[in-house]
Structure 1
Amino acid sequence: MKTVLITGAASGLGWALSRQAFALGYRVILTDMNAELLQARAEYLAQVDVDRVICRTLDVTDGDAITALALWLQSQPFALDLLVNNAGITHRSLAEKTEMPVFRKVMQVDWAAPVELATVLLPQLKQSRGGIINIGSMAGWMPVLGRAGYCSAKSALGQFFEVLRCEVSRYGVHILMVYPSFLDTPIETNALGHDGKPAAHARSMVGKMQTPEDLAERVFLAYNKKQKRLFPDRFTWFASLLWRLAPDLYQRMMVRKFASELEQ
């Protein structure tokens, strides 16, 4: 039986990924900051098979907690086969108005935490010849108004793991980068405003809203096929192509579509 560890597993895409992994026969280690909801999620899955569900409360920005998690995993009778870096946070605020602690928070959750988890757990993944799935964003490839910090973090995430993939492929470790567009998940509901408080205005978006369940299924299909990158819908693929071929046109279209962000 293979084991997967999923961050941000209690809600949104993380919960959909947890259910999908469980349905595929994985032993699932659910981690999240929300201890109460995490326990409820674990109990839900345990009704089917209690031996394949483990939950651990985890703040991904806490380096000591990550070290403790790695030591705990080393003491277990099973190997870690897959790490899913899903936990994330975003903001909706113009760059010039955003306070630095907001940028730091977004970078810490969306870039530093996945990097630390991956590097700390890499020895175990090399031993099992396992893999890493990172939930990036189209914002990692293309600029999105009102998301300067988020775009920066997701761009850094992609670049780091593109490099790491090349470095660890010789050990049989596979890395999948996932680049979704707009998902119907709590990440936008919980978006930070310029001052770190909840964002007051509704989000702008382009393309079709995806469901986390549909994306979760596509993610595991792509991973099992050893794909390196997943653009889960035609809009995401087209937008990434447009940004590369005609960046000025892309930016003009984005400014029109996200014009309301400029008023915030």
Structure 2
Amino acid sequence: MKTVLITGAASGLGWALSQQAFSLGHRVIMTDMNALLLAARADALASQDPSRVSFHRLDVTDSEAITALVALLKEKEGGLDVLINNAGITHRSLADKTDIAVFRKVMAVDWQAPVEMAVACLPLLKLSGGGIINIGSMAGWMPVLGRAGYCSAKSALSQFFEVLRGEVAQYGVHILMVYPSFLDTPIETNALGHDGQPAAHPRSMVGAMQTPEWMAERVFEAYYRKKKRLFPDRFTWFASLLWRLAPDFYQRMMVRKFASELEPH
């Protein structure tokens, strides 16, 4: 039985991933900032088999908390087979209107936290011959208006783990990068505005919105097929290809599709 650790596990894609991991017979360690919701979600799974569920409140930007959690994994949880870096945050705001603190927060949650989690867990993953699943974004592959900080963080995430993959392959550690586009999850509902408060305007989007359950199934399928990258949405994959082949045309189309992002909010 494999042990799977999931960050941001109490809602959205994290909750769907927790349910999927549990349904596959894995032991699930759930972490999240929202302690009350996390406990309720864990109880829901534990009602089926309490031996396969544990949960820990975790602020992924707290280095000491990460260190303590990994020590707990060594001492009481019996090691680790799969780390899923899912916790994330985004913003909807023009770059020149955004407080630098917003960019720092987005980078801390979306880049620094997954990196710290991965590096801290690597000794355990080397022992188990396990792996890391990172929930990136198509915004890390192509620019999206109003998401300068988010695009930067997800791009940095991708580059770090592409390098790490080559460095840890010799230990049998597998890394899957997942690049979803528009999912019906709280990450957009809780998006930050230019001042760090909740964004006041609805998100712009292209293509179809998918459910987190749809995404979670594809994530585990791709991981067990040892895929290195998962592009589940063909429309946004095509858009990222267009960005590489015809960047000026892509920019014009993006400005047209995301015109509302250029309006003052």
Q: More deviation in 234-243 or 26-35?
A: 234-243
After superposition, residues 25-174 of structure 1 pair within 5 angstroms as: 25-76=25-76, 78-174=78-174
Letter of the aligned partner of 1:20 in structure 2?
A: Q
Residue segments in structure 2 that go unaligned for 5+ positions in a row: none
Q: Please state how far the C-alpha of 1:97 moved relative to its aligned partner.
A: 0.1
Q: Which residue of 1 is the match for residue 23 of structure 2?
A: 23
For the residues of structure 2 that align with 1:169 and 1:232, how far apart are their CA atoms?
Answer: 24
1:134 match: secondary structure = strand
Q: Please state how far the C-alpha of 1:47 moved relative to its aligned partner.
A: 1.0
Letter of the aligned partner of 1:103 in structure 2?
A: F
**Structure 1 residues 194 and 77, CA, compared in 2 at 3 Å: closer, same or farther?**
closer
Percent pairwise identity: 78
For the residues of structure 2 that align with 1:250 and 1:210, how far apart are their CA atoms?
Answer: 23
For the residues of structure 1 that align with 2:99 and 2:233, how far apart are their CA atoms?
Answer: 33
Q: Deviations over 1:28-76 (max 9, x none)?
A: 0000000000000010001110000000000000000000001111102
1:176 match: secondary structure = strand
Q: Please state how far the C-alpha of 1:236 moved relative to its aligned partner.
A: 2.1
Query: How many pairs align?
Result: 264
Residue segments in structure 1 that go unaligned for 5+ positions in a row: none
For the residues of structure 1 that align with 2:224 and 2:185, how far apart are their CA atoms?
Answer: 24
Letter of the aligned partner of 1:254 in structure 2?
A: M
2:159 match: secondary structure = helix
Letter of the aligned partner of 1:65 in structure 2?
A: A
Q: Deviations over 1:154-188 (max 9, x none)?
A: 00000000000000001000000000101100000
Q: Please state how far the C-alpha of 1:78 moved relative to its aligned partner.
A: 1.9
TM-score by length of 2: 0.99
For the residues of structure 1 that align with 2:240 and 2:257, how far apart are their CA atoms?
Answer: 16
Q: Is the contact made by 1:179 and 1:236 (CA closer than 8 Å) also made in structure 2?
A: no
Q: Deviations over 1:178-221 (max 9, x none)?
A: 00101100000000000000000010001100100000000000
Letter of the aligned partner of 2:207 in structure 1?
A: G
Letter of the aligned partner of 1:114 in structure 2?
A: P
2:210 match: secondary structure = coil
Q: Please state how far the C-alpha of 1:79 moved relative to its aligned partner.
A: 2.2
Alignment partner of 1:222 is 2:222: yes
Letter of the aligned partner of 2:154 in structure 1?
A: K
For the residues of structure 1 that align with 2:19 and 2:237, how far apart are their CA atoms?
Answer: 26
Q: Please state how far the C-alpha of 1:101 moved relative to its aligned partner.
A: 0.3
For the residues of structure 1 that align with 2:125 and 2:132, how far apart are their CA atoms?
Answer: 8
Letter of the aligned partner of 1:23 in structure 2?
A: S
Q: CA RMSD in A?
A: 0.6
Q: Which residue of 2 is the match for residue 186 of structure 1?
A: 186
TM-score by length of 1: 0.99
Q: Which residue of 2 is the match for residue 199 of structure 1?
A: 199
Q: Deviations over 1:205-263 (max 9, x none)?
A: 01100100000000000000000000002112211211111111111100000000000
Q: Please state how far the C-alpha of 1:77 moved relative to its aligned partner.
A: 5.5
